[in-house]
Amino acid sequence: MKTVHFNRKAVALVLATAGVLSLFVIATIGTTDTTEDFSPRVDAVVRDIHVRRRLQNKPPVVDTGDHAGEVDEIDKARGLNEIIERANRLKAEKEGNGVKEDGREEVDTSAVVVKPPTGDGDEEDAQRREKVKQMMVHAWTGYKNYTWGANELKPVSKESHSQGIFGGAGMAATIVDAADTLYIMGLENEYNSAREFIRDNWTISKATSTLSVFETNIRFLGGMLSLYALTKEMFYVEKAKEIADALLPAFDTPSGIPKSNLNPITKYVSNYGWAAGGSSILSEFGSLHLEFAYLSNVTGNPIYYEKVKKVRDVLDAVDKPDGLYSNYMNPDTGKWTQMHMSLGALGDSFYEYLIKSWLQTGKKDDQAKKMYFEVSDAIQNKMVFKSKGGLTYVAELRNGNPEHKMGHLACFVTGMFALEAEHSDDPARKEKIMKLAEELGKTCHESYVRAASGIGPEMFYFDQFQEATTNGGDHGYIQRPEVIEGWFYLWRLTKKKVYKEWVWEAMMAIEKHCKVDAGYAGLRNVYKPEDGYDDVMQSFFFAETLKYGYLTFADDKIPLDHWVFNTEAHPLPIYSS
C-alpha cells in the first residue's frame, strides 16, 4: 500500500478559497435589488436643428488613457476567480468612503457589484442594466467633480462646456436632463443631489442671454414635468410654470407660430438669419405640444395649451404639397417659405409629436391622429426608398427632388412607425408599418456595423459609391440616441431579441470607444476612432442615450401604455381621462 502524502500548499489554497466563498455568501445574504413603483400617477384632466449638435471645428482631442482595451466584467468567464474578485470588491465598497483627499467623489465603476436578478428580468438583463447604470454613474461623477452647475462637461480637458442654446453658461442643463434618468435607474444618492440643486438653485431667471425656445422646452420644461410626473413633488411644477411663462412672448406673432430665440431679460424674440430668410423651423415650433399641453393639465391654466393648439391649427390648415410639411414657415404669414422636407434635422420631432399627442390624450386628440396618419401615408409615398443593396431609408426632398441621404437624427422614425403599427386598428396596415419600422431599424443598424467603431455617423448616404456610409465630413458621433431609441421601441413592441442585442452592442461600442477618465466623449470619426474625441459630454447623453439603453433591459419600467417620451426622452404620462 502506498502512503498518501498531502500537498500542504494545495490544502492551504483550498481552505483559503473556502473561507473567501463563505465571506461572500455571508455578505450577500439578505441583499435585494430594491425597485420603486414607477407606475404613473396621472392627474385628471429635432429633434434639434443641425446647429444644435454640430461637431465643432477644432483639432481632435486624444485622451491619455487607453480605454479601447477594457473588457466588460459582465462578459468575463464566470468561476472562482470572479467570485473572489466580487467578494473583495464588496468588502472594499463597504470599507471605503468613496471620497478622494481633494474632496472629489471617486467611483470605480469596474468595482460595482453586479447584483442577481430580483424578478424584474432574467440574469442577463439584470447584468446589462447594472452595466448601463455603471456608465451613468461614471458620467455623472465626472460632471459633478469637474463642472457642477455648468451646462455640460468637456470630459477630456475636464472643463465646463456650453452652447448658445442654453441662455447662459450656468443653466445646469446636465443636471436637469439627467435627473429623471437617475430616478428611473434607482440611483438614489445621485438623484437626490440633482433634486436638491434644482429645488434650491435652479431658476430660469439665471438666463443671461438669448436661449432656444425649442431646447428650453424639451430639456428644461420637459425635464421638470417628467420629474413631477414621476415623484409628484410640486416644486417641479412651479419650476415648469416659471419656464413656460418665460417662453410665452415667443408666441406673440401674427400667425401664432413662435420664433426660435428669446432673450428672457429683454423679451426680444428672433429667428435664425440662415433659416430661409428668418423663418421659424418646423422641428422647433412643432415640438412644443406635449409639454405645454401637460402643463395646462397639471396647473389647470389653459394658456399653455391654447398657445400650442393655435400652432397645431395653423399647420392643419396650411396647404401641404403632396401631403407633406416643409421645414420653414414664415411666422408672420403662417405660410411655407421653402419646399424642403426632412425627417432628420429641421423636421423630425414634429412628426413624432403628432402621434404622441394622440397617445398622450388616451387617443382623444382626433386632430393629431388625422394629421399624423395623413402625413404617414405621404411619407411612405414620397420619401421612403430602397437602396441598391436592399436597404430601406427615408430621403430628404428639395422642391420635390429626393436627396438620398439619411441622418442619425432620422433614425427616430423606426420608433415612430413602430408606435403607429402598435396602435393601428387595421391589421393589414399594422403588419405593413411594423415591417417598415423593422426595415428602417435594420438600415440604421447597418450604419453602425459598417463603421470600425461599431457606432454610426452623423449622416449616411445611398448612391453608387456609398451604402449606409459616408465618405464626406459627416462621419462624427456626438452621442446621439436615435438609433438606440428605435431599437428600444422595436424590442418593447415586437419582443424580438435581436433588437435587445443591437442595443447592447451599441452601448458596449460607446463604452469601448467613447469612455474617458471623466465621462464619455463624442468621436471625431466613427470609421477611425483613433482620430480622437470631440471633448463634449452632451446633456442628452444622460437624458436619452443612457436612458433608452437602460430601459431596453428593464421592461417593467416606464411602460409604453402609460407613458410617452418627449423628444429629449423625458417621460410624460398618458391621461387617464
Positions at the binding site for Ca(2+): 567
Residue recorded with cell 455617423: 457
- In this structure, what are the phi and psi dihedrals at residue 48, rounded to the nearest 5 degrees? -100, 160
Ranges of H-type helices in 383-455 = 413-422, 427-449
Q: Annotated binding residues, as ranges? A: 567
Number of residues in the chain: 577
**Residue 163 C-alpha from the chain's centroid:** 18
Which of these is catalytic: 48, 284, 396, 458? 458
Residue 495 to residue 481: CA distance in whole angstroms: 20
C-alpha Rg value of the chain to the nearest Å: 25
Rounded Cα–Cα distance for residues 200 and 487 (Å): 37
Q: Is 348 noted as a catalytic residue in this protein?
A: yes
Query: To 5 degrees, how large is the angle CA 444–CA 450–CA 451?
Result: 100
511 catalytic residue (yes or no): no
Is 188 catalytic? The answer is: no
Contacts of residue 22, Cβ cutoff 8 Å, sequence gap at least 6: none
* Residue 41: count of CB within 10 angstroms of its CB: 13
Active-site residue flag, 555: no
Catalytic residue, candidates 177, 348, 352, 438: 348
Q: Which of 215, 365, 422, 544 is catalytic?
A: 215
Which amino acid would we find at residue 172?
A
Distance of CA 169 to the CA centre of its chain: 22
**CA pair distance 244, 201, nearest whole angstrom:** 18
Distance (Å, whole) CA 142 – CA 159? 10
Distance CA 441, CA 444 (A): 5
Query: From CA 240, how far away is CA 211, in angstroms rounded?
Result: 16
CA-to-CA distance for 80 and 552, rounded, in angstroms? 30
Strand, coil or helix: what is 93? helix
- The residues assigned a catalytic role are 215, 348, 458, 482
